Amino acid sequence: MMSKLPEGKGRKAVVLLSGGLDSMVVAGLVREAGYSLCALTINYNQRHVIELEAAKRIAAHLGAERHVILPLDLRQFGGSALTDDIAVPKDGVQPGVPVTYVPARNLVFLSLTLAWAEAVGAHDICIGVNALDYSGYPDCRPEFIEGFRNLARLATKAGDAGEDFAIHAPLQFLSKADIAREAHRLGLDSAMSWSCYDPQPDPSGEGWLACGQCDSCRLRLGGFAEAGLTDRAGYV
Amino acid sequence: MMSKLPEGKGRKAVVLLSGGLDSMVVAGLVREAGYSLCALTINYNQRHVIELEAAKRIAAHLGAERHVILPLDLRQFGGSALTDDIAVPKDGVQPGVPVTYVPARNLVFLSLTLAWAEAVGAHDICIGVNALDYSGYPDCRPEFIEGFRNLARLATKAGDAGEDFAIHAPLQFLSKADIAREAHRLGLDSAMSWSCYDPQPDPSGEGWLACGQCDSCRLRLGGFAEAGLTDRAGYV
């Protein structure tokens, strides 16, 4: 596993923190490496807006220096099951890009992360993309991350002055089982995070439960099972 | 001048419309070429938020099919005279990147334009960047625009499926005088647009006037003067 980040003492890292398992592990790795954590969460009016609560729990637990929750209403664009009136598939992970793909989402989110990083003088940007057990989203692939790193130089005043931005994607080549193991190793309670695309009201009348059937739940449950670990999140 | 766009009848174009002179001319060129106009304006809590009113006037005048004004509070990041408590320089255009540079702004805005374009099935994205009479912003240069075009392919489902996005920057190599002439040729009233970074209250008690001294005003006034045209915008 190559998930360790370079030593970060005395440096800030800006982390895209959705509140899911993957970004929780990335934020944990950032703290483990000694960086000061600047967490960015985008409220894009997503169907599973409940993940924002998970992001808050994680940022607080990890002692983030700052946590910005930025509203950005991607429902005005639509075009995805997460931001439009399109049903979330429940039949298992299929080949191809699924309808939960949000147009250009990672590019938009990484661009915002870069904007904040440049504004606060950070040069380390971290994202929890993963190219093994993933949903086939094009903007999770290594070529995309590498392309973004090159463009970051051209797009900024800092890059123009010869400063480089490192785009860390420490989970890139990990399986979901590896990621579950990393969460365990870092002592991060999986119940702090939220991955489900289609939250269901808890029949007890309070809070929400994960559906257990969307791609995100299936990949997560499969990872914990393969790792022989228990996912402490609540499922229907 | 190479400002003409390819024939666009039956096609949608997504245009980044700030409300300034440059984006007004781009939107005019888009309509001239026959595209259906989808205008995107970002309310980034900018100092000169008055430009949003200009964007509305322009979109209405040009018969935009849709005009989305998207709130995105970049003041949460700061780091610019346009989004933070930093004074707008008034001493004339200086060498180097000025404090009105907003970290990674064009990358963030182009990414949003791409997101909307993909959601509505458009393949033409238009931006009014200009690499001649400009403020030295790195994200206005041809290398940046070309880099973005390449990344758009990697960042999207459409790109993954072999579809290409054209990033049109028709003003790229025009002078401000050329742009003023284009506005005139297209019959676009300069008073519809707003360029000033530091709006001043009109002493008559109603509305706002351009300061005439910020870089944006100086470049604009210089362009109209050189073209021998009158800028109908109101100045203090």
User: Domain with B73 in it: what CATH number?
Assistant: 3.40.50.620
Q: Give pLDDT, residue A1.
A: 43
CB contact A142 to B (< 8 Å): no
As a whole-number percent, the residues of chain A with pLDDT over 70 amount to: 97
Q: Which residues of B touch A73 (CB under 8 A)?
A: 70-71
Answer whether residue A3 shows pLDDT above 70. Answer: no
Position A46 in a domain: yes
Q: Give pLDDT, residue A146.
A: 93
Position B127 in a domain: yes
Position B231 in a domain: no
CB contact A155 to B (< 8 Å): yes
Determine, for residues B97 and A160 on separate chains, whether the beta-carbon distance falls below 8 Å: yes
Q: Give pLDDT, residue A96.
A: 85
Determine, for residues A111 and B103 on separate chains, whether the beta-carbon distance falls below 8 Å: no
Determine, for residues A147 and B148 on separate chains, whether the beta-carbon distance falls below 8 Å: no
Q: Span A29-54, mean pLDDT? A: 96
Position B182 in a domain: yes
Can you list the residues of chain B whose pLDDT is less than 70?
1-3, 133-135
**Domain region containing B81:** 12-195
For residues A5 and A126, the answer to whether their CB atoms sit within 8 Å is yes
Determine, for residues A147 and B151 on separate chains, whether the beta-carbon distance falls below 8 Å: yes
Which tops the pLDDT comparison, B2 or A107?
Answer: A107
Q: Report the chain A residue with the minimal C-alpha distance to residue B159.
A: A138
Q: Give pLDDT, residue B5.
A: 93
Residue A94 confidence class, pLDDT cut points 50, 70, 90 = confident
Determine, for residues A70 and B76 on separate chains, whether the beta-carbon distance falls below 8 Å: yes
Closest chain B C-alpha to A192 CA, distance in angstroms: 26
Q: Which residues of B touch A144 (CB under 8 A)?
A: 151, 154-155
Position A1 in a domain: no
User: Residues near A216 by Cβ (< 8 Å), separated by ≥ 6?
Assistant: A20, A100, A135, A195, A196, A197
Report the domain count for chain B.
Answer: 1
Q: Give pLDDT, residue A2.
A: 53
Determine, for residues A71 and B74 on separate chains, whether the beta-carbon distance falls below 8 Å: no
Q: What are the residue ranges of helices labelled H in chain B?
A: 21-32, 51-61, 105-120, 142-155, 157-160, 176-185, 215-227
Position A148 in a domain: yes
Position A2 in a domain: no
Q: Span A53-60, mean pLDDT? A: 98
SS3 for B147-201, per residue?
HHHHHHHHHCHHHHCCCCCEEECCCCCCCHHHHHHHHHHCCCCHHHCCCCCCCEE
Of A68, A71, A111, which is closest to B108 when you measure between CB atoms? A111
Q: Give pLDDT, residue A4.
A: 81
Answer whether residue A120 shows pLDDT above 50. Answer: yes
Answer whether residue A203 shows pLDDT above 50. Answer: yes
Closest chain A C-alpha to B5 CA, distance in angstroms: 24
Question: Is ipTM beyond 0.90?
Answer: yes
pTM to 2 decimal places: 0.94
Position B156 in a domain: yes
